[in-house]
Structure formats: C-alpha cells, structure tokens
C-alpha cells in the first residue's frame, strides 16, 4: 500500500478544484465543508462504517480546499502536533 502524504493530497485537490473553489470564496466553501461534516456526523450516529469512511474522505478533501484558498499548508500546520509535543488543550 502506498503512503499518502498530506502535502500530496492537498496539491491534488488544488490542481483539480482550486480555480472553482476560489471563485466560490471562503464563505461558500466553508458551508460545503460544514455540510460534509454534518454528513459525517450522521454516518457516525448511525454507526454506518462504510459511509463514515466515505464522509471522512470528503471532510478531509474539503478541509484541503479551504486550506488551499486561504494559503495554508496543512502539512506545515500539523507540525504543531509532531514537533512541539502538544499535550492537552491549549489555554483560552
């Protein structure tokens, strides 16, 4: 099985969808993201593993879309968990 890196997936999503996603804008794209999160919540509540797996992928793809149109590199952003050894919740 081939290993998938976050940066590769984010770039794939960018190549396929960034122009259209930028035209939709952050607010519209965020609404699509939230809709997918809702579909994931439903799949989890129904204990529908196959559908949940599909919805996890959709949520991740839409998260990559939001990151792309706001110029956030998700792999870099995730380093806070791999390099800074975050424990617990960050204080408010």
pLDDT one-digit tens code per residue, 57-73? 999 999 999 999 999 99
Rg (CA), the chain: 15
Structure tokens at 6: 């976050």
Distance CA 13, CA 61 (A): 7
State mean pLDDT over 22-28.
97
Residue 10 lies in a domain: no
CB 17 within 8 A of CB 65: yes
Q: How many domains does the chain have?
A: 1
State mean pLDDT over 19-34.
97
Residue 6 lies in a domain: no
Residue 89 lies in a domain: no
Residue 90 lies in a domain: no
Q: What is the CATH number of the domain that holds 34?
A: 1.10.287.1080
Residue 34 lies in a domain: yes
Residue 56 lies in a domain: yes
Domain interval for residue 19: 15-82
């Amino acid at each position: 099985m081939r290993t998938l890196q976050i940066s590769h997936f984010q770039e794939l999503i960018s190549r396929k969808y960034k122009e259209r996603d930028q035209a939709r804008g952050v607010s519209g794209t965020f609404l699509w993201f939230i809709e997918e999160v809702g579909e994931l919540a439903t799949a989890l509540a129904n204990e529908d593993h196959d559908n949940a797996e599909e919805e996890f992928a959709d949520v991740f793809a839409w998260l990559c879309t939001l990151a792309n149109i706001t110029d956030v590199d998700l792999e870099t952003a995730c380093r806070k968990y791999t390099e800074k050894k975050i424990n617990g919740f960050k204080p408010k």
